[in-house]
Amino acid sequence: MSNSIWEKCSQQLQGELSAQLFNTWIRPLSVEPAEQSAGLNLLAPNRFVLDWVNDKYLRRIEEIVGQMNGNTGQCPVSIKVAPRRQAASHFRRDGAQQRSDTRSADEQPRFGGDTLQSSPATGYNQPFESNSNSQFEPSAERLTLNEDPDYGLNSSAPITVTEEPQQNVEPYQLPLQGSMGNHMGGGHFGNGLRNDTPHPQTVGKRLEKQDIEGGLAHRSHLNTGFTFKSFVEGKSNQLGLAAATQVAENPGGSYNPLFIYGGVGLGKTHLMHAVGNALLQRKPNAKVVYLHSERFVADMVKALQLNAINDFKRYYRSVDALLIDDIQFFAGKERSQEEFFHTFNALLEGGQQIILTCDRYPKEINGLEERLKSRFGWGLTVAIEPPELETRVAILKTKADQAQMLLPNDAAFFIAQRIRSNVRELEGTLKRVIAHAQFTARPISIDLVREALKDLLALQDRLVSIDNIQRVVAEYYKIKVSDLHSKRRSRSVARPRQVAMYLAKDLTNHSLPEIGESFGGRDHTTVLHACRKIKELLEEDADIAEDVKNLLRTLTT
């Protein structure tokens, strides 16, 4: 009963909220399985979500539920934090931080059928059997792992390896073979020092027991330049920053895993490293490990090849915090997902912090197992959006300051207005401007920026701009450009707006979020919907097809 009420209520909210808000605050809520309750008892995954929902959405939820019940007041709504199993955080061995909830073992979460048990360290040294003579075959290979059933450490079920060794990634240096190698899969280490711990030199042989018990040397691979201090806060990343700060203050706590998603170059990796750096600052001996998911896959493949999968498991499960970038890379890689699934469970169970980044919301990752998708949402899921103009300007000013260059406001606005896609591109453009200023020994001004970016600006001018599209469409349909930006929903405005969005997607290089931003700050899903709708109408509606043909002719000749 409560479930169906909540299902309808959340459908209603989905229609009212942007995808980002819905995914962040409403989707993680669930209904408490109470046998006899007159009301709707909701569970939030953590206090962060609870406080926010209480503050911003509870009244609306009550309203919707009230309406569904004919305003009889018979279905009161309550919300509390979902009980979770208590886990001893690796960051709290010194007693510095204590988890506030003390729940019984009965409240352990069930993981889609399997109940997790305490981490069995014994599984690490189990013999490893392979029916492939340890020669890795790039094609599907069947391996028998003598592993534990809970974490995949003792399972004797055959596992089919479908991943192939990756091209263009450095060969796996087994942790126990002298070096963890270079885990720079994402190429995020252009500058800044690395926080590396030298690795035991035991090349070519497995570590002896005392080495294992003595603990592995972990290399964090963190970029020390990616800190909270160097991260510029703006509306687009506020939530991500707040969540990352919370995790840095309370690792292994309720916000585990922290899942940060968003488009390329928006600061996901930076935030993830900022947490890692903060953790290491507080506890220099903490084992904080960052790696790109591509690296995880490559390491796993190599470990299988070298008959060292248990060393691999042990390494990744012995960290205090595991930071994995771009996990969309796991899509379609079943064996890696299987391995990651067990690592993930073991870490979560042990109270070790997991931070993941991805280019999209977990549920939207095709080729990812459902059980992983749902686990990714257990902690806190936050989106990072493309930065708005003010944030772009602030980032440029900060980066120029860091490079000890004076960037006047008008020049910063000039660049920020033209480079809108992501922060990485913004940084690249600023570097070009700074280099030009240094080569010509002149201060930065709008003129110098124009000179430095001559080619780029000429290219942009050649492309049809969104402004131009809006002007032409407004003229064609005899409406005002401001109508296209407005919230008006009447057909006479809504359809031309959809046509203009469709043309903007078709004729420019702008991303969906950027197009949304240019149409009165609309969500990218609205743009996506508009593009699909017009595409559909082009087949079915001769008038629209004629309109689009005429507009295309005007805009491109």
CB of 435 to ligand ATP, least distance (A): 17
| Residue from 62, 164, 211, 359 in contact with ligand ATP (CB under 6 A) | 359
Position 270 contacts ligand ATP (CB under 6 A): yes
- Do 393 and 412 touch, CB atoms closer than 8 A? yes
235 is in an annotated binding site: no
- Residue 162 among known ligand-binding residues: no
Out of 6, 25, 111, 231, the residue judged to bind ligand ATP by CB under 6 A: 231
| Cβ–Cβ under 8 Å, residues 519 and 484 | yes
Strands, E, within 240-294: which ranges?
Answer: 258-262, 288-292
Which residue from 239, 268, 232 is spatially nearest to 255, judged by alpha carbons?
A: 239
Give the residue with the Cβ less far from ligand ATP, 78 or 245: 245
Return the number of the residue (250 or 422) whose C-beta is nearest ligand ATP. 422
Residue closer to ligand ATP (CB basis): 423 or 499: 423
Instruction: Name the residue nearer to ligand ATP (CB basis): 421 or 508.
Output: 421
Distance CA 293, CA 302 (A): 14
Peptide bond between residue 257 and the one before it cis (omega within 30 degrees of 0): yes
Regarding 186 and contact with ligand ATP (CB under 6 A), the answer is: yes
Instruction: Indicate the helix (H) or strand (E) that contains 132.
Output: none
| Rounded Cα distance, 391 and 423, in Å | 10
266 or 437: CB nearest ligand ATP: 266
Residue 80 in 3-state DSSP? strand
User: What interhelical angle do 309-317 and 293-305 show, nearest 10?
Assistant: 150
Q: Is 221 in the site for ligand ATP (CB under 6 A)?
A: no
Residues 6+ apart with CB under 8 A from 183: 219, 221, 289, 290, 291, 292, 295
Site string for ligand ATP, 393-432 (x = CB under 6 A): --x---------------------------xx--x-----
Is 184 near ligand ATP (CB under 6 A)? no
**Binder to ligand ATP among 68, 121, 242, 264 (CB under 6 A)?**
264
Give the distance, in angstroms, between the CA of residue 463 and the centroid of all CA atoms in the same chain.
31
Q: Per DSSP, what are the bridge partners of residue 42? A: 31, 79
Interaction residues for ligand ATP, span 474-533 (CB under 6 A): none
Residue-level length of the chain = 557
# of chain residues touching ligand ATP (CB under 6 A)? 21
Residue 241 or 464: which CB sits closer to ligand ATP?
A: 241
Question: Minimum distance from CB of 266 to ligand ATP (Å)?
Answer: 4
Separation of CA 535 from chain center? 30
Q: Shortest approach of ligand ATP to residue 187 CB, angstroms?
A: 9
Is 267 marked as binding a ligand? yes
Paired residues of 193 in beta bridges: none
Tokens of 122: 């014994």
Q: Of 490, 417, 423, 492, whose CA–CA distance to 456 is shortest?
A: 417
Stretch that binds ligand ATP, among 55-63, 106-114, 261-269, 299-307 (CB under 6 A): 261-269
Residue 188 engages ligand ATP in binding (rule: CB under 6 A): yes
Residue 192 lies near ligand ATP (rule: CB under 6 A): no
Q: Binding site annotation covers 265?
A: yes
Does 266 help bind ligand ATP (rule: CB under 6 A)? yes
Q: Are 278 and 314 in contact (CB under 8 A)?
A: no
Binding site for ligand ATP (CB under 6 A): 186, 188, 226, 230-232, 237, 264-270, 326, 357, 359, 395, 423-424, 427
Write out the binding residues for ATP. 265, 267-269
